Structure 1
Amino acid sequence: MTPVTVDQGDSPIVLGLPHTGTFVPDTVAANLNDNGRKLADTDWHIDRLYEGLLDGATIVRANFHRYVIDANRDPQETSLYPGQNTTTLVPLTDFDGRDIWETPPTAAEIDARRHAFHAPYHAAMQAELDRLRARHGVAILYDCHSIRSRIPYLFDGTLPDFNIGTNMGATCAARIETATTGICEAAIAYSTTLNGRFRGGWTTRHYGKPDKGIHAIQMELAQSTYLTNQAPPWTYDNTKAAVLRPLLTKILTNLAALAPTLGGKS
């Protein structure tokens, strides 16, 4: 299994899929406990949800599971949300705070996974953003995520449907943030927040450098918007998805249309 799959397109839009992969090497799986082997914290079916929404979009997809190593965490293990419950570069618990390992990985094992999985994913991401910036003068990374809408260990209450993250406006031009938020807020069947519990993971924060011609925005969807139930077997709900997909298409289409107005790289 290759660590990353890239589908190249000619649009200035890159879709990042860091958490849809379910591959776990046998040597890693052997050290997971029964809870860990459920792989419950997957961004279930996000690749299917976004498939075919924007002609010409480039897709960078991690094939490995986040329990192997999390492609959306700082490789130097700096916390994204200091003082709050979160998971680490190689998670030790699931999103409910429960252990996932019979034998937790050693520092050497984490370092090996960093080189074997995390680094190739981000090398591919950087290459695609550079390629499209060279072609268009600008590239926009739209990082695709989903999560259960109720996880008391991570946040209080029920998560909004659309959770937009730009690290308080630092990772993209204001027009990108405004356009995305406006489309979501106009969809009265859904709830929306900007830079709430999720302000953008390491991917968004690392690549989002508007002054260098690369803009990044994260969309964290509540899984209730497109799954039948937010529990095993994590069934994709075609009826829900049929309502949601046109809104996501509108977002991506608007971002692609904005790209030529954002100016070239410095």
Structure 2
Amino acid sequence: MPRFAPHPARRPVLIAGASSGIGAATAVALAELGHPVALGARRVEICETLAEKIRADGGEAFAARLDVADTASVDEFVTAAEAALGPIEIVVSGAGDLEFGQGWTMHPDVFESQLRVHLVGAQRLAHRVIPGMIDRQRGDFVVIGSDCADRPRPGAGAYNAAKVGVEAFATQLRMELEGTGVRSSIVRPGQTLTGMGMQSTPEVVGPLLESWVKFGFARHPYMLRPADLAAAVAAVVSTPRGAHLVLVEVQPEAPLREAQQDKQSGGS
């Protein structure tokens, strides 16, 4: 007899930060697996367009405005999503943005706002959704971390601190939820091509990249695609009960070397 009942065939998913990048790609990937998806972000019109596409492709989707920096917004979104799709079985906490700047020169209000979205936003979702998961003795709470959490980069403003915090929070949840049937997991991206930070100017980004090379953070120019992280999230939540992928780090594979170079290096 199995130690755990299997996952239900139908597992409603809440995705915070679903309007672009990793969140949008994850919504599509999980919908393709047959999961109903609740898409939440401040740019609700983009979420609604994505939800329409998912439904046109045969999936089940709900979209509404979600601001994870606002407790009332989180409560309203979860209530509406569960009314539309049923109790939330999976949460993907990926809402956030990135503003470059030195840690000591960034205005404290901007620094705090980054922490409020990335870290406190994840706690708001956990506070609202995890009690129901505990009652059902199952569920997946997944945070999108960053390799900045253990390899901070210069010039990333509050992003390093926010990702260190959210990964520590997810690890804390894993210990606190042990024995409840609820799994807390981290999907940790390496350098990923998304819209975050794209509002910055070349005058800001140029010196930033130079400093990353100096400290060894840019070994090659290839970057991950959002779909690569969506695949990792799908693997985490699809793992059969009784096993738990607690941390999945995804890094971009380097460009292939020329075969002739390999032959020359091998024969020297």
Q: Which has the larger radius of gyration?
A: 2
TM-score (normalizing by structure 1): 0.38
Q: Which has the higher contact order (CA 8 A, sep 6+)?
A: 1
Q: TM-score, normalised by structure 2?
A: 0.37
